[in-house]
Amino acid sequence: MTQFDQKVNQVFPGKVVRKDLVRKVKVGANIPVYVLEYLLGKYCATDEEMAIQAGLLIVNDIISKNVINPDEANKAKAWVKEQGEYTFIDKVKVRLVASEDKYWAELINFNDNYIHIPNHFIRTYERLLEGGVWSEVNLQYMYDEEQRGRKSPFWISDLKPIQLASFDFEEYQSGREKFTTGEWIDFLITSTGLEPEQFAERQKLLLLIRLIPMVETNFNLVELGPRGTGKSFVYREISPFSILVSGGKTTVANLFYNMASRKVGLVGLWDVVAFDEVGGMDLHEKDVVDILKDYMESGSFSRGREEITANASMCFLGNVNQPIDVLTKTSHLFQPLPEKMTDPALIDRFHYYLPGWELPKMSKELFTNRYGFVVDYLAEAFRETRRSNFTEKMDFYFSLGDHLNARDAKAVRKTVSGLVKLIHPDGQVTKDEMRTYLQIALEGRRRVKEQLKKCFHLSIHTPAFLLSIMKPGRNCS
């Protein structure tokens, strides 16, 4: 064990796990990383090798008995029937069938979408209705001949979402104080499963910018780049509070508000809504782009008489299918977006354009064997930081020049705030560190403005996003 691994185990005992264990267990397990690390965190969060090996045996036993693949669904149903009840770890979704006036649950790997579920679970865990929740589920087999309507023998008797039982943010902040800024950045990157030594300092900051939507409310991020660079990984695997929507049709009812059921959509139920393969999004429903523009600007939208506010950040991830130097000569960097999204008013609402082509394609050398946070612990820390507002922190050292309009300034401030929340959760940041964060924040917003101008040949004034436009502000002392 390295000296750094010893340090993280001493500072955060029971809250870190060796990341190579995740890959060992992940093989053949049809569940997200945060679910695996929830189990590893319960049984393998130690630096003693014998205890780790014993914990691995328990985790593997739980996975073999309680996690099933879809092709094992019939066998799993037989287990429930023969034993009367059985516990699974599966993704649970719930929908209302209006014609029956009844909620039905679906277990994805169990491959049954007509499972009885008590209403109190739905009231307690609203995410069951939108996207679903990975949970420990106890199923009972009870066939009722007198049951009205659709008959199903499967009943959920208990449901426990995979999430941390408690979280102490002050402990997280005080633990951060024991690390240098460089050590903490490496620790965060290791916690996502990557090896920080394989990345340059600039690439490390770009990797952290992928995490800003998890700590900053209503942050609008676009990342376009080559395939295989891990664009969607953090949104799918790292947090139970984010949802990855892969291409397909996007409706107002699904994303924002269902007028029939009077239920808020994904933006009201998740901290992050990320769209993968954004080029394949179907945005032909009449109002979806207009409402998306309103939401990305103000964090609110109108449906009927309702003015609805939500905090979900929006991420748009897509593939660039030709070399960047060719694309910049022949077209523009928003070319992969679907036609409906090439609306200048929509594009101007992106706070940051992350250059995915600067990050390497995922290979085994990029994955770490070191200790990092158990990701559900990290997800809780990120969620807690969303309560803070660090958009004014930069004013202790710098002020933005007059060349930036209000939308530009908002984008830069939110990017800086996100980096400070990630790297300095207590808000204590030096002038040199702030300069680094401000420079990369300006760059990401500048890319939006320059490509917008190139795309539409509009006479949009592109600010001189250089540090020289910043005027020294008051010192924090």
d(CA 130, CA 261) in angstroms, rounded, equals: 13
The more confident residue out of 251 and 319 is 319
pLDDT at 461: 45
pLDDT at 27: 66
pLDDT at 468: 39
pLDDT at 457: 60
The more confident residue out of 41 and 440 is 440
Number of H helices and E strands in the chain, helices first, is 19, 18
d(CA 346, CA 170) in angstroms, rounded, equals: 38
**Tokens 């977006």 found at:** 337
Closest CA to 416 of 439, 450, 400: 439
d(CA 170, CA 175) in angstroms, rounded, equals: 8
Q: Is the pLDDT of residue 258 over 90?
A: no
pLDDT at 477: 29
Task: Give just the sign of the alpha carbon dihedral 159, 161, 162, 166.
Answer: negative
Structure tokens at 64: 């073999």
3-state secondary structure of 165: coil
Q: Which residues lie below 8 Å from residue 412, measured CB to CB, with a gap of 6+?
A: 400, 404, 438, 441, 442, 445
pLDDT digits (tens, 9 = 90+) for 79-91: 999 999 999 999 9
Q: Is the pLDDT of residue 458 over 60?
A: no
Query: Model-level pTM?
Result: 0.83
pLDDT at 465: 46
What's at 430, amino acid-wise?
T
pLDDT digits (tens, 9 = 90+) for 349-385: 999 999 999 999 999 999 999 999 988 899 999 999 9
Mean pLDDT of 284-304: 87
Per DSSP, the residues of 435-448 read HHHHHHHHHHHHHH
pLDDT at 259: 77
What's at 308, amino acid-wise?
I
pLDDT at 248: 64
3-state secondary structure of 474: coil
- Tell me the CB-side half-sphere exposure of residue 90, using CA atoms within 13 A: 30
Let me know: does 67 contact 89? Beta carbons within 8 Å: yes
The more confident residue out of 475 and 105 is 105
Q: Is the pLDDT of residue 390 over 60?
A: yes
Structure tokens at 127: 């995410």
Q: Is the pLDDT of residue 154 over 90?
A: yes
Phi and psi dihedrals of 232, rounded to 5?
Answer: -95, -10
Mean pLDDT of 440-445: 96
d(CA 152, CA 49) in angstroms, rounded, equals: 46
The more confident residue out of 34 and 226 is 226
Q: Per-residue confidence at 277, pLDDT binned at 50, 70, 90?
A: confident
What's at 466, amino acid-wise?
L
Task: Give just the sign of the alpha carbon dihedral 424, 428, 430, 435.
Answer: positive
Mean pLDDT of 400-413: 93
pLDDT at 147: 66
pLDDT at 476: 35
pLDDT digits (tens, 9 = 90+) for 330-356: 778 888 888 888 889 999 999 999 999
pLDDT at 280: 80
pLDDT at 474: 37
pLDDT at 355: 95
Q: Per-residue confidence at 14, pLDDT binned at 50, 70, 90?
A: confident
Mean pLDDT of 442-457: 87
pLDDT digits (tens, 9 = 90+) for 61-77: 999 899 998 899 999 99
The more confident residue out of 8 and 284 is 8
d(CA 220, CA 351) in angstroms, rounded, equals: 5
Let me know: does 152 contact 28? Beta carbons within 8 Å: no
What percent of the chain stands above pLDDT 70?
Answer: 93
In the chain, what are the helix, strand and coil shares in percent, each to the nearest 5? Answer: 45, 20, 35
pLDDT at 217: 97
Q: Per-residue confidence at 466, pLDDT binned at 50, 70, 90?
A: very low
Q: Is the pLDDT of residue 145 over 80?
A: no
pLDDT at 423: 98
